Amino acid sequence: MAQDRRDAAARADSPGAAGAALRERVLAAAAFPTACAVSAYWPMGSEIDPRPLIEALHARGHAIGLPVTLGRGAPLAFRTWEPGLALISGGFGTQIPAPDRPRLRPEVLLVPLLAFDRRGFRLGYGGGFYDRTLAALRAAGAVRALGLAYAAQEVAKVPHDGHDQGLDCIVTESETIEVGHHEAGRHDAARDHLA
């Protein structure tokens, strides 16, 4: 169902319009520390296209990294990307920088998703890669996670458990939803029960 909603939104998108709108909305709403490292993703299937945004961030002096899976149960690593870089197949339909590219530690993560709710929880692809990655990065210092999606991907409530890391903000082609800082990725339990 979540995939169907995203697919329908992508089919309704005129070429590049949602990606351009997303770029403008993120650049207007999100504060990026000067020259901070940003992780992004290369779109696959019907994911909203972050490429206009990551090109703009790169042009503003931000180092950009794309995610690479290192194995089941491991957090993601991020290899540097720049405009014009040839990507290779990373399996499961992903495109990634070659293994010889340097790694970076992002301070801001642009996170893909299948569905989201206004509490900042996301439904991903089921591997737990972003949850493990966010947990590890948050344990080592402050990071900000921005979920990128079509507005049609919003659902009333995403099921979650103690392993799920929340987002700080969700940005769609039509709205920015500030959720707030997630202490170790978890919301206030009392607030969750009231939602």
Tokens read off for 87: 């990507």
In this predicted structure, the answer to whether residue 78 has a pLDDT above a threshold of 70 is yes
- 124-181: per-residue pLDDT in tens? 987 889 999 999 999 999 899 999 999 999 999 999 888 899 999 999 999 999 997 5
Q: What residue type is assigned to position 86 of the chain? A: A
Q: Which of 115, 40, 52 is nearest to 76 (CA)?
A: 40
Let me know: does 38 contact 65? Beta carbons within 8 Å: yes
In this predicted structure, the answer to whether residue 1 has a pLDDT above a threshold of 70 is no
Distances (CA, A) of 55 to 76, 107, 134, 138, 191: 22, 17, 23, 26, 37
Query: Which phi and psi angles does 154 have, rounded to 5°?
Result: -70, 135
In the chain, where the domains are located: 2-194
As a whole number of angstroms, the distance between CA 165 and CA 161 comes to 9
- 90-134: per-residue pLDDT in tens? 988 899 999 999 999 999 999 999 999 999 999 998 788 999 999
Yes or no: is domain 2-194 CATH 1.10.730.10? no
Instruction: Give the pLDDT score at 125.
Output: 83
- Token pair 């070429």 is at which residue? 15
As a whole number of angstroms, the distance between CA 169 and CA 120 comes to 7
> Higher pLDDT residue, 14 or 112?
112
**Does the model's pTM come out above 0.85?**
yes
Instruction: Give the pLDDT score at 193.
Output: 32
As a whole number of angstroms, the distance between CA 158 and CA 98 comes to 34
